[in-house]
Structure 1
Amino acid sequence: MQEALGRVFTDIDFASYQRFFKDIQRFFAGLGYQEDKMVSRLFGEHRMLFHDPVYERHIDIFFDQLHFSHTLPLAGRLEAEGLTLPLAELFLEKAQIVQINEKDVVDTVMLLREHPVGEGDDETINARIITRLTSTDWGLWRTVTGNLALLRERLPRYAQLTDEDRGVVAERIDHLQRRIDDAPKTTRWKIRSAIGERVKWYEDVEDLAGR
């Protein structure tokens, strides 16, 4: 499906815990990657960026949280999946982008096509993790639900998808939207909801890989 949708990968993202910061720093330096010192000074021990001078790849490493338009906590979640982030966090990494671009839309469509929405983490997009976060953070809820609607709207554009593909993705979008809608919201969420879009609900993000 990646080839059919024209998705080409040019960088790699990793996540870890702050206690491994120095070990990871030494590891990538030993492989010949060049650390972006400006990024390290800017984010401290929350994020590092490495550049591969030979193949022009970028390695972005996040510690304890993913911090983009919204902040996604990772405490206790990295152990849920051996080789990658849990699928719920992979979904949220894309769905929390306020100005989502075409490649991130394609990534999210592929994720929803290949994995069901359910209760656990085993090859499943864990709806409990997603609803837990969107029920306490109105800003994240606003962005995620807006992007779900956008995904639903754009599905017919992709001629590479079969009718079955589109049907599966649409059903999973609708299922996840229902789960988010039905989850009880916190008092904090309700107070922020009353303010709505009169106050900015996200942070601007710089594309550091293009540095």
Structure 2
Amino acid sequence: MIDDFAKDYLHSDLREVREDLLGKLDGLSEYDVRRPLTRTGTNLLGLVKHLALSEARYFGEVFGRPFPEPVPRWDDLELRGADMWATEHEAREEVTGRYRRAWAHSDATITALAIDAPGHVPWWPRPDVVLFNVLVHVLTETNRHAGHADVLREQLDGAVGSGPRGRDAAFWEARRAEVERAARAADPTGA
């Protein structure tokens, strides 16, 4: 049946991208996983912390299956944005462990419910949803943040992709030069 296929397919992709995202922290110092790498403070560990909260909410309270650990209320404006970075008192293992526990909870929800199981997302303009909507949303959000993590990791130490690509620093230096040449050719003023 297409419903089971769709649910399994989306769930499989979500599992894969979660692992890819966590892999971006491998081999980095505490400072590097926490340091702000954009003007808005985006950092690797903060992305993980944010996604843990997202999964806990979306596959928890949305379907009446609350995550067993405390989760800030979605409408608590004082805490808005606090999930995007880790304080010095939050150990990396604590943040990544919470993400893995949120996965387990999410996976149990996804497995237990039919793809058309009803849920309610009070912070959405059209709050009445089904599991399919939420699964697509969380997969999209996780992929989006995994893309951020790719760029952040490349900024930190040049690591690219989710595994060895057989391309060394010389390849990437030549590629960057080629892209720069094309950009300058398109706009010789460099404006």
After TM superposition, is the score higher than 0.5?
A: no
- Higher helix proportion, which one? 2
Q: Give the TM-score taking structure 2 as reference length.
A: 0.27
Q: Give the TM-score taking structure 1 as reference length.
A: 0.25
Greater relative contact order structure (CA < 8 Å, 6+ sep): 2
- Higher strand proportion, which one? 1
